[in-house]
Structure 1
Amino acid sequence: MLVVVGGLSRRPRVVGEQIAVRDVLDLTVTVDHNFVDGAPATRFGADLRRRLESPATEVGLEAGP
């Protein structure tokens, strides 16, 4: 598996019910399907995205009530 970090750019994204400009990081993930099936690779990509979008929850720093 190869993960390549691309550039950071500002792009419009939907945040709640509004469009806002956000920083977006381009990542490219390459998987050799001779060694890894598509389903685990897809789960890895979804988990990586979730962790990158909400890093505070990964270390227990989420906002309390």
Structure 2
Amino acid sequence: MEIFEDGSKLHEEVADELEKLYDKFTQEISWQAGDLAMIDNSRFMHGRREFKDNRRQVFTTIAKILD
């Protein structure tokens, strides 16, 4: 069960419903060598499945668009 910064807990029913929604809307990426994915954090949830590849390099860039 998730616990928030204020100490409150996420109800199990809510967690179960969220998991169903995650599964419904998850899009898998069929990765090929050299592929790149760019995701707007303000518009999409994102994550990755567990993998084992000691040669893989993951780079992260954080930018803020100024008006």
Using the size of structure 2 for normalisation, the TM-score is 0.29
Higher CA-based Rg: 2
Q: Please identify which structure carries the higher helix content.
A: 1
Using the size of structure 1 for normalisation, the TM-score is 0.30
Q: Please identify which structure carries the higher strand content.
A: 1
